[in-house]
Amino acid sequence: MQKLERSFNFFNFLITQTSKCHCLEKKKKRRQSGLRCHVVFGTHGTSFSENQTLLSYSGGIMTTTRFFVYGSFCEGMVHFSKIQNFVESSVFARVKATAYRLKVGFPAVVKGGSDLVPGQLIELKGSDLLLSLMDEFHGYNRMDPDKSLYSREEIEVHPEGMSAPVKAWIYFLNPLKLPVNATVISGGDWRRSMEEQPVLTSKLSEKQVTYIQRLGRSSGREIVPIDLTLYRELMNLELIVDKGRRLALSKLGQEVYRHLA
């Protein structure tokens, strides 16, 4: 659990630092000395290891990369804030694939199928560091893609108002990592699915959210006190597991924690 917390806190920290570099990029032509930002990130999916790689950005080359995003990374969703400072343009678009509803309520898209899955075609302006951070967040390891949680692939995207498709990157969930309780979203319309059945995070009380966040931030052996009523509520929701001397988030609880603002 401590690794999960380190992963998300570190991602947010790095995005903040990279965002500062991006904003100051516009000023570099007026300055002789380049901005130098040093940031660190891990190399093992969503768990940051002790062997971390130091990267530096010295006001270097900023490139524009097209991405097709869906679910929590779309505008107005919980993870959009992680990329919004880098978005140069955005347009409604669709891709041919298969969308699944995870138990937490958010979608995951798997390669293959004929459904037209909705999302956004965005242009992100950033360095290679931003792409590495996106890979890290999605648990994509370029050196071992078959064992990664997600794969990053370039596919044809169909933007609204355009007659021809364009190429863009997308993160597909690895079919081998698809939870057994995930259900196919008919027609691929995950937005309608979320409207008809709101995500689990929106159904939680403030007290439940606060405890999940505290438990998510705790170290492996730390005991986070809980009252009996809240204990029963979270156990019934299958969000926590009792390890005897302490409580921990279940797999579903970890997914909920990932999707809390």
Helix (H) or strand (E) holding 67: strand 63-69
The pLDDT of residue 58 is 36
CA distance 256 to 66: 28
Residue 7: HSE in the Cβ half-sphere, 13 Å Cα cutoff: 21
Report the Cα–Cα distance between both ends of the chain, in Å, rounded: 18
Q: Are β-strands 53-57 and 37-41 bridged in parallel, bridged antiparallel, or unpaired? A: antiparallel
For the chain (length 261 residues), average pLDDT per consecutive 10? 46 54 47 34 31 33 88 95 93 98 97 97 89 92 93 96 94 96 96 96 97 92 93 97 92 93 70
Tokens for 164, please give them. 């021809």
The pLDDT of residue 16 is 54
Amino acid present at 237: L
The pLDDT of residue 219 is 83
The pLDDT of residue 32 is 37
The pLDDT of residue 129 is 86
CA distance 125 to 58: 16
Q: DSSP assignment, residue 57? A: E
pTM for the full predicted model? 0.77
CA distance 248 to 174: 26
Q: DSSP assignment, residue 186? A: G
Q: What is the number of other CB atoms lying within 10 angstroms of the CB of residue 242?
A: 10
CA distance 174 to 146: 8
